[in-house]
Structure 1
Amino acid sequence: MGSTSKEVIQVVLPHIRVYKDGSVERLADSPYVPSSPEDPETGVSSKDITISQNPLISARLFLPKLTQPNQKLPILVFIHGGAFCFESAFSSNQHRYMNSLVSQAQVVAVSVEYRLAPEHLLPVAYEDCWTALQWVASHANAIHEEPWLVEHGIFEKLHITGDSAGANIVHNILMRAGVEVLPGGVKTSKAVLTHPYFWSSKPVLAEPVDEHDKAAPHVLWNLVYPSAPSGVDNPLINPIVHGVQSLTGLGCDQMLVTVAECDELLRERGIWYFNAMKESGWKGEMELIEVEGVGHAFQILDRKTDKAKDFIKRLALFLQD
């Protein structure tokens, strides 16, 4: 193998390195862990399932310890973060976070394993997650027969949450859910967008003006969706760009948006998005939470800190109400 085969063609530290031979080194991944019949810390059970064979879309399902055999629970679809290009529903960080959230929220959860860029460029991830949401909703009519969903799921309480890029995906599939009917007429009820990844060609609020186009959210978007019409002003990443579908059509009833005080790249975007939703005339209920003294995705990366535990408890309460 010649030395040029491992030539780096793009690197975005500390996230990802792409080589000329097509290989990808994901620098920020946490190791994969297996599912578990019963997590010793939380009592949550998990298992891995296939949603679609072609394309291959899978998920990790989570079920809290039941108090009675036929107990009914809200359903939570979770979409992990990682700039559309790293992390996994099967990684240790995401798995342990979901165990904590599922245990406290008392939901049956579907953590979606969507295909990652740059091997699968956007909009693939959006399509995968929409397929996953359709698959979950189809259980209301027993079209599919995943027993945890059929036996325990309350389809009138179908919630969806995502972190960072996952929160971006949540917004976009909720926009789709506002105009397309899910199987069985199921509707999404509550949404949580944690540290959402949005961007645009112009800085907003208190974002630095200098070298805006060199910031990681800008560079990563060009990596994961190089053919995006209008670049970082594509409505998938800039939901407020002129001429796009009105935010009033967002397909859920309640939304919680959260930001972190020390999230230098995306704090302003979360507030910007929340304000735009409030001003749009959307009829749902909205709340914004800012956690002081913490950084991006702290609830996953620093899960055992008091602030992370308090935050997960807050999310669980929102999903329970």
Structure 2
Amino acid sequence: MASSTEITHDFPPFIRVYKDGRVERLFATPRLPPSTDPVTGVQSKDVVISPELDVKSRIFLPKVDPGAPPQKLPLIIYVHGGGFCIGSPLNIITQGFLAPLVSQTPAVAVAIGYRLAPEHPLPAAYHDCWVAFQWIASHATGSGPDSWINNYVDTSRVFLVGESAGANLAHYIAVQAGINKTKLGVRGLIMLHPYFSQKEPDKMIQFLYPASSGSDDDPKLNPCSDPDLEKMGCPRVLVVVAERDKLKPRGVGYKETLEKSKWGGKVEFMENEGEDHVFYLFNPSSEKAKGLFEALISFVNQVV
């Protein structure tokens, strides 16, 4: 008879699921409390966007002069990656990515939290991200529930940013924003090393998303099957891939899908030679990571 410690599902480097239902996350990073970053001066605070979901998101504000009138800044809405099953807007990796980006752009950022699979099977993450976007959109008239967004954000200059599975979720938000005609002015979408499904079903995604085939016929998992792709609510997309990343073909395929679609926006493309998946998160001080940050800042600050 099998013991309760028997492994039923093992998907390195993401999760291990045991017979008794326990989930072990194999790549976990420490969570940091909201604070003021000692290097950049960026402040952060946590908000619970939906009490029903009880999922925290974190807002990042660049260093400001308290004696000066508030300056209206672009807003970055960031969706973390991690295969839909690891990661957090509150961890040290998110802090390390957003603090310098917010400081150097400068911009305000909201790192969206969402429920993780398999405890909360997909499409829960898609639902949560859209709820978070709607909460942010409630600030469009300057009278939303959060004072930082009301006082410091230019809601006509909003950028969606996601990496890996988070890029998949960011793309979903962009399409929903176009379908629902929200009052936020989404100017661009930045897709960092995006994860999308392929023709061959992905066994991990099938486990995390029992209602899906886990292949490219699911419009949430692959835009090539999405009849609403042409309604995507932003005029510009930056697709970033890494030469040694096994997901590179999926980013290239996404670029080609957009170019062939009736969406009609502008696609920009960037590849980092000799680098692997989300290298900039683990070596942010490298020259190529700095170059990537410069490209992101330029994309946000570009006047179009």
Partner SS, residue 66 of structure 1:
coil
Q: Which runs of 5+ in 1 are unaligned?
A: 203-212
Amino acid at match of 2:177: A
| 1:298 has 2:296 as partner | no
Q: Does 1:260 align with 2:267?
A: no
Tell me which residue corresponds to 1:209: none
Distance 1:232 1:317 in 2: 32
CA distance in 2, matches of 1:59, 1:195: 22
Contact 1:258–1:270 under 8 Å retained in 2: yes
**2:268 alignment partner AA:** E
CA distance in 1, matches of 2:174, 2:72: 24
**Distance of 1:25 and 1:4 partners within structure 2:** 16
Q: What's the counterpart of residue 164 of structure 1?
A: 164
Equivalent position SS for 2:180: coil
Deviation per residue, 1:283-308 (Å, 9 max, x gap):
21210100111110111122122211
Q: CA contact under 8 A between 1:77 and 1:161: conserved in structure 2?
A: yes
The one-letter code matched in structure 2 to 1:195 is H
Matches within 5 A, 1:129-278: 129-182=129-182, 185-202=183-200, 218-229=202-213, 231-241=215-225, 244-264=226-246, 266-278=247-259
| 1:39 paired residue number | 37
1:109 alignment partner, SS class? strand
Partner amino acid, structure 1, of 2:217: D
More moved, 220-229 vs 294-303: 220-229
Structure 1 distance, partners of 2:144, 2:81, is: 27
Size of the alignment, in residue pairs? 300
Q: Residue 232 of structure 1: CA displacement?
A: 4.7
- Which residue in 2 is equivalent to 1:210? none
Q: Normalized against structure 2, the TM-score is what?
A: 0.94
Alignment of 1:110-125 (within 5 A): 110-125=110-125
RMSD: 1.7
Alpha-carbon distance in structure 2 between the residues aligned to 1:186 and 1:306:
34
Per-residue deviation, 1:223: 2.2
Maintained 8 Å contact 2:158/2:186 = yes
DSSP-derived class of the 1:256 partner: strand
Distance 2:47 2:179 in 1: 28
Deviation at 1:220, TM superposition (A): 2.3
- Residue 233 of structure 1 deviates from its aligned partner by 2.4
Q: Which residue of structure 2 lines up, in the alignment, with residue 205 of structure 1?
A: none
Q: Is the 8 A contact 2:223 2:257 kept in 1?
A: no
Contact 1:221 1:232 in 2 (8 A): no
Mapped partners of 1:230, 1:64: distance in 2: 40
Distance 1:43 1:231 in 2: 44
Deviation of 1:145 (Å): 2.3
Which residue pairs with 1:6 in the alignment? 5
Matching residue's letter, 2:219:
P
| Aligned 8 A contact 1:246 1:280 in 2 | no
Gaps of 5+ in 2: none
Task: Give, in angstroms, the shift of residue 281 of structure 1.
Answer: 2.9
Per the alignment, residue 261 of structure 2 pairs with 280
1:232 and 1:289 map into 2 onto residues whose CA distance is 24
Q: Would the alpha carbon gap of residues 100 and 27 (structure 1) be closer, same or farther in structure 2, given more than 3 Å must change? A: same
Q: 8 Å contact 1:105–1:316 — kept in the other structure?
A: yes
Letter in 2 for 1:163: E
Separation in structure 2 between the aligned mates of residue 4 and residue 143 of structure 1, nearest angstrom: 55
Match of 1:65 in 2: 63
> In 2, distance between residues paired with 1:300 and 1:281?
34
Counterpart CA distance in 1 for 2:274 and 2:214 is 35
| CA distances 1:68-107 after superposition (whole Å, capped 9, x unpaired) | 4411101111000000000111111111111111111211
